[in-house]
Structure 1
Amino acid sequence: MKSFPAGTSVSYTCRPGYRRILGKPSSRTCGEDMQWTPIEQFCTERTCSHPGELENGFTHVTDLTFGSEATFSCKEGFRLIGTATISCVIVAEGVDWNRDLPFCERIPCEPPPKIENGHHTEAPEYVYQTAVTYTCNDVPKGSEPFSLIGPATISCISNDNLDGVWSGPPPVCKVVKCANPRVENGWKKTGLGPSYTYRDSVMFECNPGYSLVGSNVITCGEDNTWLPSVPTCEKMTESGCGAPKITHGVVTPEKPVYAVGESVQIRCTAHCAFPDGAEEMTATCQGQSTWNPLQDCACESEGSGSTPHIHYGRVVDGQKPSYLVGDFITIECYAGYTLHGAARIQYAGENQWTPGVPTCHLSGYIIAIICVIVAVVVILAAFWSYKKFFSQNGNRDSTPCTAEYKSCKA
């Protein structure tokens, strides 16, 4: 009908996606005043149930009514498998979500790369935040050991929160051997040894009357050369000064010899300062290798950590003359010993390391071999004692009988 006379009643049915409001009439009547009554709303949107929370993820929903949407995201280290958005739609006589819920999967990495002459720790699976540590293979006695070049530990990370990648390339295991460094008119203050391998350091000092040109500390690099290059000791002139020697300080400009009256700027390294609290000072050459004023830098206690001594082991990465809080070192045991504790530890200040300095213990197979050898020795000793005992008893038993037999014949 297009027109309705007074007194006409019409009834309504709620559209799909909507439902009747209980207690509200679903019909209206045309009154004498040509107005429809009653005028209350009697249909409302149907609602979907809450889609639920994601394990290792988040559900974002502000409304559950017909036509609304729910979105999903995952925690760091997890990726979303499935659709990120679902909608509340008409299903049969009611409403429901148009897609299944997604789920959050921990981001995986490919198996860590293998390296020549070395191996890495194994894990049940390689997923986000999994770390593996590489070590070099042992070599026969008398052969040159392999050195681990590069960070010993790499971790599974994600740059796009979708795919896992390793935090860096794996290290390399190779034989590194640097020539014995010699400095004419100088001597080795530290680092004395018959041979030098990767990261071994040597500190030099010149004889009286000579000035050091170059770095006083050199380190054996991965390409079998010393870095920086081996220094030299140059004879000083009586009227000049050699470079001032400052503990935990840097001299600018840096030269082997300075003229009388020439000044240098001395700046303390990080976490260090002069006794008066200043971080830099100016010193002037007075002649005869005398500088005025000249003071050493004092460092905070957290920067004075020394390399921990590892019985039957060594530091293979991160070794320095002193350490600041947050510095890392990597430790490995000598052949035949196994590491008990974390291979990579961090300096925590006051000569403390976290999670604690590991120890090296004799490997199980070495202990087993020793036990077998001891057992064999004990068995042989027991057999020898047994044989000797019965041999002596046999001689004692036969002697009287022989004597008695001879006396009978006589």
Structure 2
Amino acid sequence: TCMAPERLQYAELQESFSTMKSFPVGTTVSYVCRPGYIRIPGKPLDRTCGEDLQWSPTEEFCRARKCNHPGELQHGFINVTDLTFGSKATFSCEAGFRLRGTDEISCVIKNNVVDWNKDLPFCEIIPCGPPPSIANGRYTELQSYVYQTAVTYSCDAASRGADPFSLIGPATIFCTYDEHSNGVWSEPLPQCRVVKCDNPKVENGRKKTGFGPSYSYEDSVMFECDPGYVMIGPAIITCGENNTWSPPKPTCEKITEDACGAPKITHGVVIPLKSVYEGGESVQIKCNAYCTFHDGTGEMTATCQGQNTWSSLQNCSCGSEISGVTPHISYGRVVDGQKPSYSVGDFITVECYAGYTLHGEARIQYVGENKWVPGVPTCQLSAYITAIICVIVAIVVFLAAFWIYKKFFSQNGKRDSTPCTAEYKICKA
């Protein structure tokens, strides 16, 4: 006898065979599909105990039933790799939205059919609570505050004769969210305070900009030193929230006979940059992009000669060359960047008319002296159009030759008939 056949994941023995412990040779058993599976048409459901006491092989005759696709999740994503019985679907939301409901569903048996075991969730936009109020200020009020909603604060007007309030901190904050998808505001709240800084003065120097009777929050002042003095520290200072100047005021120190202040270069940088250089010390000067010295180079070296004097000091000039007109493109045109005139560094984009092929780069850059890099492209007739023109010319030549040939023989025929006709008439006469 055969032992009971092995258990199949997708089918089970019919009830009449399920209680049998041994099966005589030649016994045939039948299967039925398990719940969640459906029979594959044409596949046998039977197996037979053979003389070798082994069950006959079988092909898979039941397949898993499928659930319908869960559908779309607005402002979210559904991850489902399979719809068969036993599979799962997971859900997630876009940035700024959070999931309401389950994050996973399974395809199960419900009322003798396969279906998802739970309702679909939905994605709701993350809300924020109303922004907090601030002393001596207000914000723009809205009906609701949700993800990416912006709120702008402003300070109240001061009473007559009083110092005005200054808004310290970011004026605008946004509704965003934390790691738990709870709505929070993006920035710390600003403050409205009275800020006053004293009138700054620098010995052996003077104000260049920022003249005024009083100074409040974020007011700036620029200083310059008197001739023969060099500035130590930043030239521009700003009134900060703590009623102090930031950074601290600069100082102007007298230049000794064997020292130099930092060279001032238009459209260039000094390397290394310091406040004071000793006599004989050299620096490297580099021009900015698309800028050069008068000799066309972009770098040079200058040396301190003492008494605030530098050798070989030059300024950089930038974009002085103008092309005047757009380059001529035969059988093409400029589609982007066209201007009446061009400065060094300007770009244009070129395309050809229909039937022509661009030879060269479509995007070129002006480098001065009416020159473009990597060169103005050309538009040449495409091979397809050239072939068509050749065919047309061949047809025209053939028709012309045929017309000349026909006309030539037609005229000869007239000449041959005229004498005969005349002779005929003479003979007849």
TM-score of the pair, normalised by structure 2? 0.59
Contact conserved, 2:220 with 2:237, CA < 8 A, in 1? Answer: yes
- Matches of 2:318 and 2:163, distance apart in 1: 39
Q: Which residue of 2 aligns with 1:255?
A: 275
- Matches of 1:165 and 1:299, distance apart in 2: 48
Flag the structure with larger Rg: 2
Deviation at 1:254, TM superposition (A): 1.8
> Residues 241 and 22 from structure 1, CA distance in 2 versus in 1: closer, same or farther, beyond 3 angstroms?
closer
After superposition, residues 6-155 of structure 1 pair within 5 angstroms as: 11-21=30-40, 41-155=60-174
> Gapped runs of 5+ residues in structure 2?
1-19, 321-429
Deviation at 1:68, TM superposition (A): 0.9
Moved beyond 6 Å, runs of 4+: 27-38, 298-301
Q: Which residue of 1 aligns with 2:395?
A: none
> Residues 34 and 238 from structure 1, CA distance in 2 versus in 1: closer, same or farther, beyond 3 angstroms?
closer
Q: Which residue of 2 aligns with 1:179?
A: 198
Q: 1:166 aligns with which of 185, 202, 209?
A: 185
Deviation at 1:112, TM superposition (A): 2.6
Equivalent residue letter for 1:56: H
- Matches of 1:282 and 1:262, distance apart in 2: 10
- Matches of 1:209 and 1:34, distance apart in 2: 115
Q: Which residue of 2 aligns with 1:219?
A: 238
> Residues 231 and 158 from structure 1, CA distance in 2 versus in 1: closer, same or farther, beyond 3 angstroms?
same
> Residues 30 and 260 from structure 1, CA distance in 2 versus in 1: closer, same or farther, beyond 3 angstroms?
closer
Work out which structure has the larger RCO, using CA pairs closer than 8 Å and 6 or more positions apart in sequence.
1
Deviation at 1:294, TM superposition (A): 2.7
How many residues are treated as equivalent by the alignment?
Answer: 297
> Residues 36 and 297 from structure 1, CA distance in 2 versus in 1: closer, same or farther, beyond 3 angstroms?
same
Q: Which residue of 2 aligns with 1:378?
A: none
Q: Which residue of 1 aligns with 2:380?
A: none
Deviation at 1:33, TM superposition (A): 11
Contact conserved, 2:78 with 2:91, CA < 8 A, in 1? Answer: yes
Q: Which residue of 2 aligns with 1:402?
A: none
Deviation at 1:56, TM superposition (A): 0.6
Q: Report the secondary structure of 2:33's partner residue.
A: coil
Deviation at 1:187, TM superposition (A): 2.1
- Matches of 1:176 and 1:300, distance apart in 2: 43
- Matches of 1:281 and 1:103, distance apart in 2: 66
Contact conserved, 2:263 with 2:270, CA < 8 A, in 1? Answer: no
Q: Which residue of 2 aligns with 1:285?
A: 304
Contact conserved, 2:270 with 2:283, CA < 8 A, in 1? Answer: no
Equivalent residue letter for 2:275: K
Deviations 1:261-304 (A, max 9, x none): 223455678x79654574x6542112332112334466899xxx
Deviation at 1:229, TM superposition (A): 1.9
> Residues 229 and 268 from structure 1, CA distance in 2 versus in 1: closer, same or farther, beyond 3 angstroms?
farther
After superposition, residues 356-395 of structure 1 pair within 5 angstroms as: none
> Residues 144 and 297 from structure 1, CA distance in 2 versus in 1: closer, same or farther, beyond 3 angstroms?
farther
Deviation at 1:173, TM superposition (A): 1.7
- Matches of 2:95 and 2:137, distance apart in 1: 32
- Matches of 1:17 and 1:197, distance apart in 2: 77
> Residues 224 and 299 from structure 1, CA distance in 2 versus in 1: closer, same or farther, beyond 3 angstroms?
farther
- Matches of 1:104 and 1:121, distance apart in 2: 28
> Residues 24 and 181 from structure 1, CA distance in 2 versus in 1: closer, same or farther, beyond 3 angstroms?
same
Contact conserved, 1:149 with 1:171, CA < 8 A, in 2? Answer: yes
Deviations 1:215-243 (A, max 9, x none): 22111111111122222333333453333
Matched, 1:206 2:230: no
Equivalent residue letter for 2:185: W
Q: Once superposed, what is the RMSD of the aligned Cα atoms?
A: 3.5
Equivalent residue letter for 1:16: P
- Matches of 2:192 and 2:318, distance apart in 1: 36
Q: Which residue of 1 aligns with 2:5?
A: none
Equivalent residue letter for 1:222: E
- Matches of 1:99 and 1:220, distance apart in 2: 62
> Residues 12 and 230 from structure 1, CA distance in 2 versus in 1: closer, same or farther, beyond 3 angstroms?
closer
> Residues 110 and 293 from structure 1, CA distance in 2 versus in 1: closer, same or farther, beyond 3 angstroms?
farther
Mean Cα displacement is larger for which, 23-32 or 50-59? 23-32
After superposition, residues 265-276 of structure 1 pair within 5 angstroms as: 265-266=284-285, 275=293
Equivalent residue letter for 1:3: F
Deviation at 1:119, TM superposition (A): 2.1
Contact conserved, 1:48 with 1:66, CA < 8 A, in 2? Answer: yes
After superposition, residues 207-356 of structure 1 pair within 5 angstroms as: 207-247=226-266, 249=269, 252-256=272-276, 258-266=277-285, 275=293, 278=298, 282-296=301-315
> Gapped runs of 5+ residues in structure 1?
302-410
TM-score of the pair, normalised by structure 1? 0.62
- Matches of 1:160 and 1:300, distance apart in 2: 50
- Matches of 1:10 and 1:188, distance apart in 2: 107
Q: Report the secondary structure of 1:208's partner residue.
A: coil
Deviation at 1:10, TM superposition (A): 5.3
Deviation at 1:130, TM superposition (A): 1.9
Q: Report the secondary structure of 1:245's partner residue.
A: coil
- Matches of 1:186 and 1:238, distance apart in 2: 19
Q: Which residue of 1 aligns with 2:378?
A: none
